[in-house]
Amino acid sequence: MIWKLRIPAVLLAFFTVPVIVLTALPHQPEPIPGFVQYQEAQSLVYRESSDTRRIEALLASALDQFSRAPAGPLPDYWTARTHLLAATWYNWRNESRSAQRELSVVFERIGDALADGDFSDGFRVRADAHSQMAMARGFVYMIRNGEDAKNDTLQALALDPDNIHANITGAGYFLNAPPFAGGNVPRGLSLLEHALTLEPESEWDSFLVFIWLAQGYAKQEQTVQALRYWEQASAIFPGSSILQTVAAENGFTRSR
pLDDT digits (tens, 9 = 90+) for 139-187: 888 888 888 999 999 999 999 999 999 999 999 989 988 887 788 999 9
Cβ atoms < 10 Å from Cβ of 220: 12
pLDDT at 97 over 50: yes
Q: What is the per-residue pLDDT for 15?
A: 36
Of residues 152 and 6, more confidently modeled: 152
pLDDT tens-digit map of 194-208: 999 999 999 999 999
Alpha helices (H) along 23-72: 35-46, 52-68
Average pLDDT over residues 224-242: 93
Mean pLDDT of the chain: 88
The dihedrals phi and psi of 165, each to the nearest 5 degrees, come to: -65, -40
Task: Give the lowest-confidence range in 5-19, 79-93, 161-175, 228-242.
Answer: 5-19
Q: Which string of DSSP letters, residue by residue, matches 4-35?
A: -PPPPHHHHHHHSPPPP---PPPSSPPP-TTH
Tally the C-alpha atoms within 13 A of residue 88's C-alpha that lie toward its C-beta.
21
Average pLDDT over residues 205-227: 95
Q: What is the per-residue pLDDT for 5?
A: 38
How many Å separate Cα 254 from the centre of its chain? 30
How far apart CA 193 and CA 100 sit, in angstroms, is: 33
Q: What is the per-residue pLDDT for 255?
A: 58
Q: Are 206 and 167 in contact (CB under 8 A)?
A: no
> Quick one: which of 53, 65, 142, 61 has its CA closest to 89?
53
pLDDT tens-digit map of 31-59: 999 999 999 999 999 988 888 999 999 99
Average pLDDT over residues 124-148: 91
Of residues 138 and 110, more confidently modeled: 110
Q: What is the per-residue pLDDT for 29?
A: 96
Q: What is the per-residue pLDDT for 197?
A: 97
> Quick one: which of 60, 69, 59, 58 has its CA closest to 31?
69
| DSSP secondary structure code for residue 33 in this structure | T
